[in-house]
Copies of this chain bind each other. A is one copy, B any other.
């Protein structure tokens, strides 16, 4: 039988990072925010069999739970600083100290490696019994007034996405078919997504609006459109697909995954035309693809063009109202 204090001591006591005046081990943690910065906070919960499969490797569970939360900081153009992790562990993991400890070891490795990669201090958390689930609260900082939001897009702005789309849905489909190779491009994007923190920070002051693609491109584009009060013309043929997506899902399935699949954790941004070259060169230096997929327009809603539809669409399937 594992004990909460031992678990935290063994797996989650990391060196107190910058800005941590008092770390894990008291009732709460004391942080010293940077003067002149705004604090950017968000929480994201990952539940077994809802957000990740029960047989996902423990280190991927840890990585993914943090990555999806950090993705929200990326969408704000923030620098990640700290996180808190609330872990509910199922009874079997608690009950068997050997397999439980092995699971915790791998889980914490996945979580803490991503913390380290993004200079994010784990400054608090708890471990309880319950259905396996992780709530991660992330805290970042951004210069006052410089955060990217959803409401700055204007007609004429170019709509673009970082990286490639369809990995979330494509990886899930492959996993359900029995593929277990974490190095497969689709599985990797599904279980080990990369939060686009560097891209978000680079696009602060360049993009007019941004959010991360968690609900699916069309749904998230809907959030951006409504927040900004613009419409969108989308060129579905221009969507950058993850390598191997068409092989896995076929042409139509791949496009559907890219449009509506969700869990891609790429950034969806709007960029004023006179900032476009700067945006491209900035992200090129970071080695992150940026692909124009449409533009903002006055007309509400989303219209689209697809090569196989002569008249284009008035409404994409899968868009939320």
Contact = CB atoms under 8 A, between A and B. Distances in A.
A41 interface: yes
A88 B132 CA distance: 11
A33 to B, nearest CB: 4
8 contacts: A30-B40, A41-B137, A42-B124, A43-B124, A43-B125, A43-B126, A45-B88, A45-B135
A76 B25 CA distance: 12
B72 A28 contact: yes
Given A26-B211, A30-B38, A41-B124, 7 more contacts: A27-B72, A29-B42, A32-B39, A42-B84, A42-B124, A43-B124, A43-B126
A139 interface: yes
A44 interface: yes
Q: How many copies does the complex hold?
A: 2
Contacts of A131: 88, 130-131, 133
A177 interface: no
Interface class of chain A by DSSP: strand
A144 B97 CA distance: 41
Nearest to A220: B27
A31 B25 CA distance: 26
Contacts of A125: 43
Nearest to A37: B33
A211 B25 CA distance: 11
Interface residues of A, number: 58
Given A22-B149, A28-B76, A144-B32, A130 B133 contact: yes
Quick one: which of A40, A150, A210 has the most chain B CB within 10 A? A40
Nearest to A129: B50
Contacts of A67: none
Interface in A241-287: none
Contacts of A169: none
Nearest to A200: B27
Given A144-B32, A212-B27, A45 B76 contact: no
A207 to B, nearest CB: 13
A257 B129 CA distance: 22
A66 interface: no
Nearest to A148: B27
